[in-house]
Amino acid sequence: MTDRDSNYSTYALVGGFIFGAGLTCGYQIAKLVQKKKVIHGDEILDTVKNLFLEEGPIEGSWIELKRVPLRKFAFKTEVYYGGVSRIEEDQLMQYEFIADAHTGSILDLYRI
């Protein structure tokens, strides 16, 4: 093996190592950014309203745009509180919900 072949092998090895390290760092950074991503409260409210509209008209809706920390046992997240009102059997019924600010999932929905 000549010095030239040895240099190419070294460059290939170092280049492969740098490429692999870059992929690993990029993956970790993407995971961190994804975890910190927050869905705007208006988007969550639109989703909840659309779910209620599938069953009939609604009278009103609201959401607190300030995220609130929530902890249940070992589960920690930030949530939005909101509500929807509609007429059911000639009476105004109100519902409140708790939605995860990072995933948009409805964690709880209850009638007041």
* DSSP-derived secondary structure for 59-88: SEEEE--S-EEEEETTEEEEEEEEEEEEEE
The pLDDT score that the predictor gives to residue 25 is 64
Q: For position 8, what pLDDT does the model report? A: 67
Name residue 32's amino acid. Answer: L
- CA-based end-to-end distance of the chain: 81
Q: Closest Cα partner for 56 from 29, 35, 15, 85? A: 85
pLDDT at 24: 72
Count the Cβ atoms, other than its own, within 10 Å of residue 99.
Answer: 24
Q: What pLDDT does residue 18 have?
A: 74
- pLDDT tens string, the chain, 112 residues long: the values are 566 666 667 776 766 667 666 667 666 666 665 566 899 999 999 999 999 999 999 999 999 999 999 998 998 999 999 999 999 999 999 999 999 999 999 999 999 9
